[in-house]
Structure formats: C-alpha cells, structure tokens
Amino acid sequence: MKKWLLLLSFFTSLLICGEAETIINRLEENLRGKDLYAKMEIIVKTKRHTRAMLIESWGKGKKKNFTKILAPSRDQGITFLNLDKQMWQYVPKIERIIKIPASMMLQSWMGTDITNDDMVKQSSLADDYHVSILRKDGPIVTLELIPKRGAAVVWGKIISKVDTRTYTQIKDIFYDDEEVEVRAIEYEGVKQYGSHYVTTRMSIIPYEASKKGNSTTIRIRDIRFDQGISESYFSKNALIRYSR
Amino acid sequence: MFSLALKNLLFYKGRTLTTFLLSLCSTVLFVVYVAFMDGSHESMLKNSLSIYTGAIQVMQEGHHENPSYDTLLEDLPSVMQTLKNIEGIRAYTPRLESFALLSSEEDSVGAMVTGIVPESEALVSRLKEALVKGRYLDSEDSNGLYMGEELAKRLGVDLGDEIALVGSATDYSFAAERFQIIGLFRTGLFEFDASSAFVNKAYFDALMLSETMASSIVVTVDDLEKAETVAGEIAGQMPSRVEVLTWKKLMASMVQAMEVDSLFGYISMGLFFIVVFFVIMIFGFINISGRIRELGLLRALGVHSYEILKLLLLESAILAFASVLAGTLIGAYLAYFYEVNPIIIKGMAETYKAYGIISDEVPTRFDLFTIAWNAMVVLLLNFLAILYPVYYIRQFTPTEAMRHV
C-alpha cells in the first residue's frame, strides 16, 4: 500500500511539474507570438519627478529585440538592441554604438524601475527557472519559479499569479537570494488582440526602502502579433538605421 | 631593607641579569611593535582621508547607506552659506557623484563620474597633486575629463582621446555627452584610480540637471582630533534630514578592518607574553627555591615573614621598574625616531596597492599614552610572575626552611 502511495505521489508531482511548465510555456507563447511589435508609454514616478516616455519595440523569438525611443524629444532616436542576452545601445547625440558591459546590467534602464538585465532576459523564464504550482484557485494559478542551477539570473525566487483563461499574469513578486521581496509587477486591463491576450497596463513597484514611493507604469498603446518583422531590425546596423 | 634587596640582586648576578634583559627586551619589543602597528594604520587612514574622503561629509539623510539621486542634498547654496560661518573648518567643497557608463572606441566601463568644483576640491583632497599627465580641471572647463590612470588603461585611452558618457540625469532622464581626456591622475588607491573620473561641476550640472544639488559636501578641519566637535556644530546648524558624518563613520569598514588587524596583533603579542610570564616566573621560582635556607635563617634570626615578603617583592620591584624603565626609554626613542624617519621598504606600495597602501614608508606612531600603557602591562606581568614563588616560600616554617636542601 505504502509503495502505491509513494508511486502515486511521485506521478502526481511529475504531472503538477509538467502542468506548471505548460502554463509558463503557454504564457510566454501568448505574450510573444512568432514576432511582436508594440508601442508603449512608460511613466516613471520618483520622489522628485514624474516623466513620460514613448517607445516602440520589435521582438522575434526569445532572443531578439529592438527598441526605439520616440519621446521625449531629448531622448528621441535612442535605440537598443538585445541579441542573445547581450545589449547594445545607440545614442544619436554622441553618435556612438555602445555595448552595455556586464557590470552595468543591474543598472536602471532609462531611469525606470526596469534594469538592463530585465530587458535582455524578458522572455527566458522557462529556460532559466524551475517552475512549480504553489496554489490553484479555479483558473488562477500561483507559480513558484526557482532559478536553475548555474542559471545567470539575479532573482532568488519569483512568485507569479497567472490567469489560465487568458494565459496572462496578474501579479509577479520578485525575491532576492535571501528571500526578501524586492519588487512587484502588477498587470491589469486584459485585451484580446487576434488569438493573443495582453495586459495593457503594467506597474512595477520597487520595495526597497530607498525607492519607496517610486513606480514605473507601462501602458500598451498598440500591439501587433505575427506581422512578419524583418530580420533587418536585429543587427547592429539597425541601431543607426532605425534611429532616425 | 632597600639596600638588602639591592645586595641580593647584585649577589645573584646571573639570574638578575637574565630577568632584567628578558623584561627589558619584552618592553622594547612591545612598545615598538604597537608603535609600528598604530603607525601603519594611522598612515593608511590619513592617506585615504586626505586623498578623497575628507574628515567630515555633509549629505542628505540615508545617502551614505543608499547613495542615489533620491537622496541628493538640495538647496546647496544655503547649506554652503551655513558652513562659511563655522569655526574649525579649513575648507569645503560640493561633489555630485553619478555612476555612468564611459565608452571609448574599444571598450565600455561602468565608472563613478563626479562633478567637482576644481578650486575648492584642490583644498580638500589630493586629486590635483595626483596628476601624472596633462592638467588638472579648472572652472572654465566644459567637457574636459580628469580620469584615473588605471581607468584609462581599462578603456584603452590616453590624454586627448574622446570618451562618451552615458548615464542618468538627476531627474532619471537619459544623459549622454562626449568628453575629452584632459588629465590623468594616480592617487595610489588602486580601486579608486580604476573607477573614477572627474568633471567640472558647473558643466556637469547642466548635463545632470543638478544646479543646486550635490551628493555630498566634503569638509576638512584644522585639527582631525576635533572632527567630532566640528561635526556636532555643523549638524546643529543644518536643516533637518541633513546628516553630518565624520571619517569614523565614512571609513567604518577601514576602521573596522584595522581594529581586527590590531586585535590579531595583540593576540600574537599576548602569546609572546604568556611565554615571557612563565620564563620570569620560573626564574623567580628557581631564584627563591635556591634561597630557602637563607630565608629560613633570616626567619630564625627574628625577621618577620611579612618583612621577608616585603624583601622579595622589593627585589622584584627594583628589577621590574629598572628594566621596564630602560625598555620604555629605548622603545620610546625608537618609536619617535622611526616616526620622524620612517623605514622605507622599496616596492611595498606597488605590491600591496590593492590593499590601499600607497607609500613605501612604514612610520611608527609616537604616542605617550600608548607607550605608558604598554609599559604598565609589562610591569604588571613582572609582579604577577613573582606571586607564585612568594606564595611557595611562605609555606615553609623557619625550621623546615633551614633544613631544606
């Protein structure tokens, strides 16, 4: 009898594990499609200032992403290229392409609460983390993501609440290596775009005492999936070419 | 009693001389060792303070623990005005620090780029004297960059080359500019030279949108010993939420490392003293054991045991005082001599540059209070070492003592 119980629990855990990975894969598939174009407004709130930015982004697969700043005018034309976890930046004012070194990956991206590291690793959750189901409340599933051994990630753990009806996130909480909550991302306003569901508003709230009161809100203005984005966006030449 | 004690000491010449020399050498060694330990610590600390940190820093509350644009000192002119009227301050200067990406044609490196007021900065730190190539900044400079020699090596650039700066302005908007290297410096603090660059603050403020802001104001004082008092006075006149930190807090990690180093120094000296203690005690014991019959005779002649105790302690005291005094004088002379003429170990700064050692000189620290307590320790050790032998001799009755072989 004991043997059967052990076997049963083993297969159940295998099934749950498989289910968790399926959820993460479907979530990433829903978010990314074959390729993706998006126009987004980013509002950064700090103690002294509130700033707004408008950006355009082109993505293909897990490893290719191109971003261009449209506004404010001071930053217009700055472009970013993420290729296989590496990041380059072109700044028209100084007319130079710069590779962001590893030592700067944890620095803020354009003064937001997003780091350079977030930008390059935005779609690699399934590759870098072991996923398991913590809780299930009907269609709402809470996932726990623990970094895989040797994965070059900055988080100690991520707890992610997912709506499996639309395969969109509701809330992510990020923990450091000592299991201290570092930040949360809240998602709202699910809309359907063709066969994809997208949360059109995303708020990043840092928990560190020194960043109390700060937040970064991203609003999707336009999003298009599977448009057949040209490969020309994903080369270093694109940084200058598409900057104008 | 005193002359009898002196006679006894002169009679047992060999034992007296050995104990004297042992105690004398211990004193000299202890005084000189502590003087070197304190001297090297003090010189490292003073070098670090004078190179960049300064004795006091004024900053917004929380900035020291979490340096960020959210904790910048605002309303800089009024804070600077307040500092003008405080006594004991020698000079002060504001700095705006920004962690930015410096990029050459070859490479990109994250570095601390700091906006400084060139004239007043030269009064509080050794940045100007650290120049090795080109020139130091001046108040008319626009996009001139004064860069650490090691940082230039990391970027593969030299004097006159162009460097692009990419970072965030104080409102967290994007900031980028091209700079030209006008000077290279070497302070000797390896980490600092490999990660620091300086710009004229007036120009940097326009780029960083920080006209009336600073990360900190660095203050030097007339007398480092009075830094705490001056800091207290500054704090009293500053608006709330402005913190005034002295070098003890600013250099806490260095001060702690030195305390740990001193602790290990004292532990190794402690082990040495345990050996010295037992050697003195054994010599005392042999000396007294050899004199049991003599002391028994004195008792039989009517000398009170209390007076014998006094005699033995007096002998020990004469020896201890004489040896410790001589040792202290020699030790103090050496401490003074090497403070004025530090020992020079060629190549030491080069070998240990990563540990913040920037000079080949190893100075001592001549401090009368330290020397006094060092001497007291050896003196106490001498007295403690004689206690057991004296206790041992008191167990004998006069008859037993006289029969003792």
What per-residue confidence (pLDDT) applies to A14? 46
Residue that is written with structure tokens 């697969």 in the block: A61
SS (H, E, C) chain B: CHHHHHHHHHHCHHHHHHHHHHHHHHHHHHHHHHHHHHHHHHHHHHHHHHHHHCCEEEEECCCCCCCCHHHCECCHHHHHHHHHCCCCEEEEEEEEEEEEEEECCCCEEEEEEEEECHHHHHHHCCCCCCEEEECCCCCCCCCEEEEEHHHHHHHCCCCCCEEEEEEECCCCCEEEEEEEEEEEECCCCHHHHCCEEEEEHHHHHHHHCCCCCECEEEEEECCHHHHHHHHHHHHHHCCCCEEEEEHHHHCHHHHHHHHHHHHHHHHHHHHHHHHHHHHHHHHHHHHHHCCHHHHHHHHHCCCCHHHHHHHHHHHHHHHHHHHHHHHHHHHHHHHHHHHHCCEECCCHHHHCHHHCCCCCEECCCCCHHHHHHHHHHHHHHHHHHHHHHHHHHCCCCHHHHHHCC
Q: Which two tokens stand for residue A131?
A: 């996923």
Asked if residue B115 lies in contact with residue B100, where contact means CB atoms within 8 angstroms, the answer is: no
Q: Give backbone dihedrals phi and psi of A149, rounded to 5 degrees, phi first.
A: -60, 130
How many C-beta atoms lie closer than 10 Å to residue A30's C-beta? 16
Mean pLDDT of A46-71: 91
Q: Which two tokens stand for residue B272?
A: 């040495």
Q: Closest CB to A111: pick one of B62, B65, B173.
A: B173
- Asked if the Cβ–Cβ distance from A94 to B178 is below 8 Å, we say yes
Q: Closest CB to A210: pick one of B68, B173, B177.
A: B68
- Asked if the Cβ–Cβ distance from A48 to B171 is below 8 Å, we say yes
More confident residue, A13 or B346: B346
Among residues B124, B120, B128, the alpha carbon closest in space to that of B221 is found at B124
Rounded Cα–Cα distance for residues A165 and A210 (Å): 37
Contacts of B66 (CB under 8 A, 6+ apart): A208, A209, A210
What per-residue confidence (pLDDT) applies to B402? 72
More confident residue, B123 or A106: B123
Q: How many domains does chain A have?
A: 1
Give residue A47's domain range.
Answer: 2-241
The chain-wide mean pLDDT, for chain A, equals 88
Strands B162-168 and B174-185: antiparallel
- DSSP for A188-236, please give it: EEEEEETTEEEEEEEEEEE-SGGGTT-EEEEEEEEEEES----GGGGSH
Mean pLDDT of A199-225: 92
- Asked if the Cβ–Cβ distance from A89 to B166 is below 8 Å, we say yes
Q: C-alpha A125: how far from its chain's center?
A: 9
Q: Closest CB to A44: pick one of B103, B172, B178.
A: B172
Is some CB atom of chain B closer than 8 A to the CB atom of A48? yes
Q: Which of A98, A107, A114 to mutate to test the interface with B (most CBs of B within 10 A)?
A: A98
- Top mean pLDDT of A1-5, B40-44, B146-150 is at B146-150
| ipTM associated with this complex | 0.73
Rounded Cα–Cα distance for residues A236 and A55 (Å): 19
The chain-wide mean pLDDT, for chain B, equals 88
Asked if residue B170 lies in contact with residue B146, where contact means CB atoms within 8 angstroms, the answer is: no
Contacts of B79 (CB under 8 A, 6+ apart): B58, B73, B217, B238, B239, B242
Query: Closest approach of chain A CAs to the CA of B131, in angstroms?
Result: 27
Q: Give backbone dihedrals phi and psi of B191, rounded to 5 degrees, phi first.
A: -60, -40
Q: Is residue A84 pLDDT above 80, yes or no? A: yes
Q: How many CB pairs under 8 A join A and B?
A: 77
- Asked if the Cβ–Cβ distance from B176 to A104 is below 8 Å, we say no
Residues B249-268 pLDDT 10s: 888 888 888 889 889 988 98
- Asked if the Cβ–Cβ distance from B164 to A94 is below 8 Å, we say yes
* H/E element, A53: strand A50-60
Query: Closest approach of chain B CAs to the CA of A64, in angstroms?
Result: 22
Rounded Cα–Cα distance for residues B54 and B218 (Å): 6
Percent of residues, chain B, with pLDDT higher than 90: 44
B interface residues, A as partner, C-beta within 8 Å: 62, 65-66, 68-71, 99, 101, 103, 107-110, 164, 166, 168-174, 176-178
- Asked if the Cβ–Cβ distance from A51 to B66 is below 8 Å, we say no
Q: Which of residues 67-96 of A touch B (CB under 8 A)?
A: 69, 72, 74-75, 78, 89, 91, 93-94, 96
What per-residue confidence (pLDDT) applies to A128? 86
Comparing alpha-carbon positions, the chain A residue that sits nearest to B68 is A210
What per-residue confidence (pLDDT) applies to A4? 54
Residues B219-232 pLDDT 10s: 999 888 888 999 99
Residues B236-250 pLDDT 10s: 999 888 999 998 888
Cis upstream peptide for A72 (omega within 30°):
yes
Mean pLDDT of B110-120: 96
Helix axes B252-289, B13-48, angle to 10 degrees: 180
- Asked if the Cβ–Cβ distance from B164 to A48 is below 8 Å, we say no
Residues B371-392 pLDDT 10s: 999 999 989 988 888 888 888 8
Residues B189-215 pLDDT 10s: 888 999 999 999 999 999 999 999 999
Residues B38-84 pLDDT 10s: 888 888 787 778 888 899 999 999 899 888 888 899 889 999 999 99
- Asked if the Cβ–Cβ distance from B174 to A210 is below 8 Å, we say no
Rounded Cα–Cα distance for residues B311 and B2 (Å): 8
Among residues A15, A10, A25, A109, the alpha carbon closest in space to that of A67 is found at A109
Percent of residues, chain B, with pLDDT higher than 70: 97
Q: Is residue B348 pLDDT above 60, yes or no? A: yes
Q: Which of A47, A104, A105 to mutate to test the interface with B (most CBs of B within 10 A)?
A: A104
Among residues A211, A157, A212, A219, the alpha carbon closest in space to that of A186 is found at A219
Q: Is residue B397 pLDDT above 80, yes or no? A: no
Indicate which CATH number applies to the domain containing A70: 2.50.20.10
Q: Is residue B399 pLDDT above 80, yes or no? A: no
More confident residue, A197 or A127: A197
- Top mean pLDDT of A156-160, B102-106, B279-283, B309-313 is at A156-160
More confident residue, B1 or A204: A204
Three-state DSSP state, A55: strand
Mean pLDDT of A65-90: 92
Strands B108-116 and B196-200: parallel
Q: Which two tokens stand for residue A72?
A: 């404010």
Residues A100-136 pLDDT 10s: 888 888 888 988 998 888 888 765 677 889 999 999 9
Rounded Cα–Cα distance for residues B221 and A100 (Å): 41
Q: Which of residues 2-41 of A touch B (CB under 8 A)?
A: none
What per-residue confidence (pLDDT) applies to B194? 94
More confident residue, B366 or B289: B366
Q: Which of residues 95-124 of A touch B (CB under 8 A)?
A: 96, 98-101, 103-104, 107-108, 110-112
Per-residue pLDDT band for B355 (boundaries 50, 70, 90) equals low
Among residues B12, B256, B217, B55, the alpha carbon closest in space to that of B121 is found at B217
Mean pLDDT of B285-295: 80
Is some CB atom of chain B closer than 8 A to the CB atom of A209? yes
Query: Closest approach of chain A CAs to the CA of B388, in angstroms?
Result: 55
Which chain A residues have a beta carbon less than 8 Å from that of B107?
A: 101
Contacts of B300 (CB under 8 A, 6+ apart): B398, B399, B402
What per-residue confidence (pLDDT) applies to B7? 84
Is some CB atom of chain B closer than 8 A to the CB atom of A49? yes
